Structure 1
């Protein structure tokens, strides 16, 4: 059964245009082989080990130099009832749940609100952890961009994109292409391995989709010898990512001006590369131009379908970037990562009974040291 499935999966008509097949890649020249992709697994493990060393001996001292410190958070008093509600019911409070917890614990509303705020803060990663992650990704993306540019700077398909199909599928594998592919694939695989321990942001689902789509796209482009297109796609993505991580590093260090200027530069490069070059140049040469040369085949549809998934994510992230840039340019605010949760303080509005979207909100005066509530639950921003 497995042998039959393997034979069906590797049929020539699925992977190559009409008139071509795997036999084309067996003439003694060096071509990309599907089994080569297993090299990415030990490389991913190597990245996980190197990351631990890098964060400890490079990122942590750099954070100290830039003034990034561990966040000191107020510990919570152990309370079995509140802990059970927090873990099993909800981390955010509603008015009815506060009243019920008051009866069960004998605590005041303010004490319960403060306990939940501090308990939520304990689950949030501190600034130093965020800085180390950003520093690691900045180092890789910068080196990957420099390495990719070095590997492609003398290649004709960097300037004339139609050249990516010249001689296809018999495109000889270059050493620079091999290592560029394996290192990129290994890095994104390591990100997928470490997703459970990394900072979980609001676009967590989109990040998972992006990693899976990227790994699948890189893997299939390798198998079908889309090497030239694949290296161009990776270079386009690496061209802006290191600037975002650098901006986040300065943001965590509270270097406001440096963060803002780098973020604006990142936003400009992101818009140009992801919303202009990627869809109108690279996707044109993978989706439209091949139709003039070959009859469409299965991997052609799969490859371009994944490209469209990436483009949808580009549009989603571009909307977030433009919203942050608009706030900065119109109100002179510092740039903040809207995907991250911020620590809650004991003096914030929710502590005094403020409610948004069904949570507690103070609508009346104080009585006996506590907020009184009326039946008006209109929302305030």
Structure 2
């Protein structure tokens, strides 16, 4: 069976949704690319710009203190005294361990730089590609068309590829949160990526490809400025 290029993806989507599994494979590839670029390219650029790769002294492993730290990263004086008494050490030793443990979990400026560099590169390329894709689309210039005949809207090849790559990126960023040094904004970024993925699935199942593309063009440009800053 042959399909027209502009209609094939839309026609297939109505019958099967397994193509939404593609971004999972794409996310794994993008995650590897992300780690390679950050380690071998962006980190070196940061070092060239004068950022220092400071080795953080790790806190000695202690099961009792680690368990307390997993519950709360900020300890009051009563908590410190209780742990010191339990371990038969001084309060100063417990406080010193906590300082080292907090420093161990704090990402360096170089790590933050490489992460922002990666995100900036992606958003710059993604926004440029999205702008080129929608430039000749009449529904981009007349947004009312995004809401017309929604059940019968089909997704063109260029829009399909862009949406798949976008979903792959957000999935890779979500996975990356669990491999990177845990930051203070872990849960806010976790919620951000989860909501983005949920919105994508909603837009895909509801045939709102056009509106989703418009949103990407309008929002990704602000992400570029955010990462640059």
Could you say which TM-score interval applies, normalised by the shorter chain?
0.7 to 0.9
Residues matched between the structures, number: 215
C-alpha distance in structure 2 between counterparts of 1:68 and 1:157, whole Å: 46
C-alpha distance in structure 2 between counterparts of 1:100 and 1:195, whole Å: 33
| Residue matched to 1:30 | 8
**TM-score normalised by the chain length of structure 2:** 0.82
Q: Is the contact made by 1:31 and 1:170 (CA closer than 8 Å) also made in structure 2?
A: no
- CA 1:239 to 1:115, structure 2 compared with 1: closer, same or farther past 3 Å? same
| Residue matched to 1:67 | 50
| Residue matched to 2:190 | 208
| Residue matched to 2:228 | 246
| Residue matched to 1:47 | 30
| Residue matched to 1:89 | 68
Alignment of 1:339-350 (within 5 A): none
Gaps of 5+ in 2: 1-5
C-alpha distance in structure 1 between counterparts of 2:187 and 2:89, whole Å: 39
Report Cα offsets for 1:319-373 as digits up to 9, x if no partner: xxxxxxxxxxxxxxxxxxxxxxxxxxxxxxxxxxxxxxxxxxxxxxxxxxxxxxx
Higher relative contact order (CA 8 A, sep 6+): 2
C-alpha distance in structure 1 between counterparts of 2:58 and 2:149, whole Å: 65
C-alpha distance in structure 2 between counterparts of 1:209 and 1:75, whole Å: 29
Larger radius of gyration: 1
Report Cα offsets for 1:216-261 as digits up to 9, x if no partner: 22123223321111111222221111221121xxxxxxxxxxxxxx
The 3-state SS of whatever aligns with 1:89 is helix
C-alpha distance in structure 2 between counterparts of 1:50 and 1:87, whole Å: 33
- CA 1:218 to 1:98, structure 2 compared with 1: closer, same or farther past 3 Å? closer
The 3-state SS of whatever aligns with 2:150 is coil
| Residue matched to 2:207 | 225
Gaps of 5+ in 1: 1-27, 248-381
C-alpha distance in structure 1 between counterparts of 2:195 and 2:203, whole Å: 12
Q: Is the contact made by 2:9 and 2:160 (CA closer than 8 Å) also made in structure 1?
A: no
- CA 1:205 to 1:112, structure 2 compared with 1: closer, same or farther past 3 Å? closer
Report Cα offsets for 1:168-220 as digits up to 9, x if no partner: 33223222101110100111111222221134333433322222221122123
The 3-state SS of whatever aligns with 1:169 is helix
Q: Is the contact made by 2:106 and 2:183 (CA closer than 8 Å) also made in structure 1?
A: no
Alignment of 1:125-144 (within 5 A): 125-144=107-126
- CA 1:70 to 1:177, structure 2 compared with 1: closer, same or farther past 3 Å? same
Q: Is the contact made by 1:44 and 1:189 (CA closer than 8 Å) also made in structure 2?
A: yes
**TM-score normalised by the chain length of structure 1:** 0.51
| Residue matched to 2:103 | 121
* CA RMSD between the two structures: 2.4
Whose helix proportion is higher, 1 or 2?
2
Q: Is the contact made by 2:140 and 2:214 (CA closer than 8 Å) also made in structure 1?
A: yes
Report Cα offsets for 1:56-101 as digits up to 9, x if no partner: 232112111211121233454x4x7xx3442122443322333345
Q: Is the contact made by 1:71 and 1:127 (CA closer than 8 Å) also made in structure 2?
A: no
